[in-house]
Amino acid sequence: MVDLALEEENKSHTGRLKAVILAGGKGTRARPFTDYFPKAMIPINGKPMIVHTIKHISSFDLISEIIIVCDLKGFGGQIKNYFEKSKKIKFVQDSASGTAGDLAHLSGIIKNEPFFLWFADNLCALDMKKMYKQYSDKKSLACIATRMFRKEETGFASVKNGIVEQFIEKPIIKMENLECTGIYVLSSKILDIIKSKTKRNLNLSYDVLQELSKKGMVSSFDIGKTPWVDVESPVTIERKSEDIKKILCQIH
């Protein structure tokens, strides 16, 4: 049934995709900044973080439209005001019902076509064409961008018999389990699954994709050593300044 649904979806869409940016949430880790602004508006190089992400997404011909899900009645209104002259961006009110629950409102906009989902606090110059190809080749219902390598933020020591043999300054390590980056390609069938759930506050990974992963319906796109930063707060920008500089150079 899933294969037939995906085949129908692939036949119906035009070849260009919508990209959804989730910019809701309370942003508690970014306080006190988020007591006055949404996290997506954290400034990086003099522009809101979400501006850099939109610039990157818009650079791909693959993308036909960008949809931002945010609290338009609250601080999310600041995002809408910033982009009020853009004709390529649509806004949808979030429902404060979790990372999956907020997607239920997209069913009237996204119909029988796959779409990108990008959490607004993730900064990465990801190759969206390659990721979509991975999603298509694996015939999955969802594909998540992951990474195997991570640069540690602290130094390490090599120790033998209680004696330090050498110091290792912030090494790049290979992780046993891959890290999820908060960037996805999702089948529109995911929206039907979300709407079928009775739980109000739905987490995309644990309440929706976890079940599908056990059935082999979730694929992974390895970003390799492409820099990625989860911008938790303005403090992260200072701490990860080297990676952020690399990302912005790739975007611009």
Spacing of C-alpha 217 from chain mean position: 19
pTM of the model: 0.86
Cβ within 8 Å of residue 79, ≥6 positions away: 23, 38, 40, 41, 48, 50, 68, 70, 91
Q: Is 225 left (phi over 0), alpha (psi -120 to 50) or beta?
A: alpha
Residue 1: per-residue pLDDT:
45
The string of pLDDT tens digits covering residues 61-101 is 999 999 999 988 888 899 999 998 888 899 998 877 888 88
The string of pLDDT tens digits covering residues 197-218 is 877 888 999 999 999 999 999 9
Q: Provide the 10 A C-beta neighbour count for residue 102.
A: 25
Mean pLDDT of 100-121: 90
Residue 221: per-residue pLDDT:
97
Q: Which residues of 20-33 are buried (b: 16+ CB within 10 A; e: fewer)?
A: bbbbbbebebbeeb
pLDDT band at 162 (very low <50, low <70, confident <90, very high): confident
Locate the domains of the chain by residue range: 2-251
Residue 32: per-residue pLDDT:
75
What is the CATH superfamily name and number for domain 2-251?
Answer: Spore Coat Polysaccharide Biosynthesis Protein SpsA; Chain A (3.90.550.10)
